Each structure stands twice: as C-alpha cells, then as structure tokens.
Amino acid sequence: MFIKRKLYNSLKNWKNNLSSKLLIIDGAIQVGKTILAKEFAKNEFKNYLFLDTEIEYKRLEKLCKNQEFTLEIFSTYLKNSFNVTINNEDLLLIFDNVDSDSTLLVLGLYSRIKSLNLNFKIMALRKMMPLKNTWLKKDYPDVFSLRLNPLDFEEFLMAFKEENLIHLIKESFATLTPLKPNIHSKAMTYFKMFLLIGGMPAAVSTYIKNNDVSACEETKKEILELYKKEISKISYCYKEKVNMIFEQMPELLSSKDKRIVFKNILEGSFSEQFKSPLNWIEKTMLSNECYSTSDISNGLNINSTRTYIKCYLNDTGLLFTEAVNKGLFNNDEISLDNNSLFNLNKSILFENAVAQMLVANNHPLFFYTHYSNIKHRYDIEIEFLLEEKDNDQIKLIPIKVHPSQKNSNLSLSRFIEANKPLIKNSYFVYIGNLIQVNDITCIPPYMLMCI
C-alpha cells in the first residue's frame, strides 16, 4: 500500500527544476524512503535502477577509484551486475541504503557519472548523515537535500482519506474559529489513534488493513528490532552508551522534566561523555533532540546548550510500543473512547507527538526554563520554543503543552509578560477546542500541522 507523502511534490520540483543536482533524501530506517522513491520513479521516469550501496559497496568503490572511468567501464558494470544496458533515455539512478561512510562514495560516483554527460538523474536514499562535517553544502553545490520523517498527522489523515477534515482543521486555524464539537471530537479520535499507531508507513498500512490498533504492534516491534540491530553495528567505543540512551528513552520522557540526566543513565557520567552517542542518534534520525536555550534575545541556536537535552523518539507509535514493553503502562489502560490516553505517565506520548509534528514542519526544537531565586523553583517552563522570521526580524513562538481539558497557562503568561517584544504568536496545546485567551491561542494538538 502506497501512502501519499507531502514530499512527493518536492521530488517533482527537483525533477523539473533542479535535476542536474544530486538529490539526497535523508530519513531514518523504515520511514518510507524506498517506497516513495519507487513510486516517484515509476510515475515520473521511463526507467529507473536501484543500487544497494551496502551490497554493492566494494564494487562501487573500485569503480569510483578507477582513474580511467569511462562510459564503457560504467556500461560494463551495469550490464554485468544488473543486466542493464545504458541508453541516453529518461533514467533515474537510485543509490539506496546510503550511510555516513558511503556518502562520500556516492558523491564521487555522481561526479564521475556527470562527467560522462549522460541523461541520468541521480538520487541517494540516506539512512544516516555523516557523523563529522567531512563535507559541506558549499563544497558540493550540486547537492540538493530533503528529509523524510515518519508520517506527520496531516499525512496520517491523508492515509485515511480524510482530506476534508484536513481542510476544516486548516480553515479553523486560519480564521481562529473553533471546529464544531462533533468535528473536534472526530479529529481528537484520529489524534489518539496517531499516538498509538504512530507514523511509520508499515504500521499505518497494517492498521488500515486490519482496523485494529493491536494488529500493528508486531509491525512496530519489528521496526524497533531493526533500530536495535543498527545500533549493534556501531564499531565505535560508544555503542554501549547509544544503546543505553535508546533503551531508556521511555523512562527519560516519563520523568518530571523529561530531560536527560546523564548520571541517571550511567552512574558518575556527565554530558561530555555522551556527546558522540547523542550525535550518532541524531545523525541516524532515530530521535528528535530538543536543546535548552537561555539567552533568547540573540537567536535560539546560538545560545542553546548541549548539556540540557530532551530526547524524543522519532515516532510516537514506536514510543508507545516501547513503553508498553517496559511496563510503563499496559494496553488495558488504553481506550479511544475517553481521555485516559492523556493521563498516562505525565503526557509521555502527547509531548512526543508534539515534537514529532514540529520536526515534520522543519522546526529545530528548543525548550526554555527560568529558575526563580526568590521562589527557589522553576517558575517558567516552556516545552517548545520556535523562531520565525517576521519582516526581517526573528520572532519567538512559545508553545506550552498541557494534555488536559483545563488550559492552565500561568507559566506561558509569565513568559509572554517578560518577553513580549520578541514574541510573534503564543500557543497553549491541550485537548480542548480552539479558544483565544488574551495573547494566547489555545489549540488542540491536531492543529500543530498548521504551525
């Protein structure tokens, strides 16, 4: 089953306007890169060829290092390996399973193939970005990069053919008009399903086929095993620490402030010891990392710290499965008929889904806390802080997340009062319908697709 992806339009734009460039699609394992590429190749090209870089690595490396790279040599390789004869027709060459090590190999092959003046379009599907800055976009201007994430909530609704509901949600957000109660209830039911099923295409397809949430649990367990298998391949000395972070992610997110406390992962450890493991997890896109920012007046990234980090799993459905496996809650507690789902372990799934949806809209993640020396406690906690250009100025968008019917936004109000000139919009995400309260727009989680 092919599930429509919003990135498809970006692929068409590349083919029509930027196809002289190498297209690299980044995305974690099982987010649907190969399925999307095949559908795109089938619909938009006369011919296409997949090259698995894991299987073909040695032969491709030998080919790339050949000082006398000619059309004849390349033709012989394709003929012997794939029984493909080169002609100068409309052809898409796809390098699959590209990782950190094989990125430079693919770049080298792209340069060699381009020198032959063939009418090829070349795409690379990368499951892991380079761990080090061994290449930069300015060094390779002929590279065009896109990222494919798990299905966001809009794509989730598209899989269920709910385009009309998407239209109503977007219209409601644009006009700041709450949805009718029955439509809001329908959207929230889908959002609950999104928390349990997640956005992995295989899991969504399994649910649609069986119409049963429990039916896709085995599919998600298989995906999690693939992730753990990928971790087991790490040849670096920090493999154990990567495994510790990944295995403990549900517990970390169920803690009070949800950030990583390194000494709790490994007794006596500190942030610097986990720098490389966290980098590996980030580059494989298995997680969505959210960094603490202190001075918000000069750009969030400049003043962010890698010492205080929240680490959300890349897919909320996978987080649900891991949490059940670890006994944080069980399937008996789950019901789509009431709001019990939002009372589980301090909103572990709810907040993870918010992170997933924001990342899908290309927002880097930051959070903000303020400690009051007078009160001797944190008096402001903002789960997500975004920035957006507004008339050549960088403005902030604070997002407070509180999965209950009550819109208790005291912390957000304090943040607005202290930083009003810097703020564009403020949102309080809860399970109620859209409502405007002074400077704060209270929205249900499904409207995050519009931010």
- 367 with 272, same domain: the answer is yes
- 129 with 16, same domain: the answer is yes
The answer to whether residue 11 is domain-embedded is yes
Least confident of 154-158, 203-207, 223-227, 420-424: 420-424
Task: Give whichever of 88-92, 156-160, 256-260 has the largest mean pLDDT.
Answer: 156-160
- 238 with 138, same domain: the answer is no
The distance of Cα 278 from the centroid of its chain, to the nearest Å, equals 15
User: What does the mean pLDDT of the chain come to?
Assistant: 88
Coil, strand, or helix at residue 353?
helix
The answer to whether residue 162 is domain-embedded is no
Quote the pLDDT of residue 302: 57
Quote the pLDDT of residue 161: 97
Quote the pLDDT of residue 332: 66
Selected residue with higher pLDDT from 388 and 88:
388
265 has pLDDT over 90: no
Quote the pLDDT of residue 78: 86
Question: CATH number of the domain that 46 lies in?
Answer: 3.40.50.300
Band (pLDDT 50/70/90 cuts) for residue 305 is low
C-alpha 226/C-alpha 240 separation (Å) is: 17
Q: What residue ranges in 3-150 does DSSP mark as E strands?
A: 22-26, 47-52, 91-98, 120-126, 143-147
Q: In what order do the strands lie in the sheet with 440-443?
A: 384-390, 393-401, 426-429, 440-443, 435-437
Model confidence pLDDT, tens digit, residues 180-235: 999 999 999 999 999 999 999 999 999 999 998 888 999 999 999 999 999 998 87
**Dihedral of alpha carbons 275, 278, 284, 290, sign:** negative
- 11 with 125, same domain: the answer is yes
The answer to whether residue 197 is domain-embedded is no
Band (pLDDT 50/70/90 cuts) for residue 284 is very high
The answer to whether residue 427 is domain-embedded is yes
Of 147, 171, 206, which one is at a domain's C-terminal end? 147
130 has pLDDT over 80: no
C-alpha 23/C-alpha 357 separation (Å) is: 24
Model confidence pLDDT, tens digit, residues 42-90: 999 988 999 999 999 999 999 888 888 888 888 888 888 888 777 766 7
Quote the pLDDT of residue 333: 64
For residue 186, CA distances in Å to 161, 169, 179, 337, 402 come to 14, 11, 10, 11, 20
The answer to pTM > 0.85 is yes
The answer to whether residue 185 is domain-embedded is no
303 has pLDDT over 80: no
The distance of Cα 448 from the centroid of its chain, to the nearest Å, equals 14
368 has pLDDT over 80: yes
Quote the pLDDT of residue 104: 87
Quote the pLDDT of residue 338: 64
Enter the tokens of residue 119. Answer: 């009418």
The distance of Cα 262 from the centroid of its chain, to the nearest Å, equals 24
What is the DSSP code (8-state) at residue 135? -
For residue 398, report the phi and psi dihedrals to the nearest 5 degrees. -80, 140
Please name the residues in contact with 291: beta carbons below 8 A apart, sequence gap of 6 or more: 304, 305, 306, 308, 309, 365, 366, 367
Quote the pLDDT of residue 81: 85
The answer to whether residue 428 is domain-embedded is yes
132 has pLDDT over 80: no
Quote the pLDDT of residue 317: 96
The answer to whether residue 53 is domain-embedded is yes
C-alpha 366/C-alpha 212 separation (Å) is: 35
- 226 with 143, same domain: the answer is no
The answer to whether residue 202 is domain-embedded is no
- 281 with 371, same domain: the answer is yes
Quote the pLDDT of residue 294: 73
Structural domains counted in the chain: 2
346 has pLDDT over 60: no
Quote the pLDDT of residue 124: 96
Quote the pLDDT of residue 51: 93
Of 147, 163, 187, which one is at a domain's C-terminal end? 147
Of 147, 162, 180, which one is at a domain's C-terminal end? 147
Question: What is the domain range of residue 123?
Answer: 7-147
Band (pLDDT 50/70/90 cuts) for residue 331 is low
Quote the pLDDT of residue 82: 84
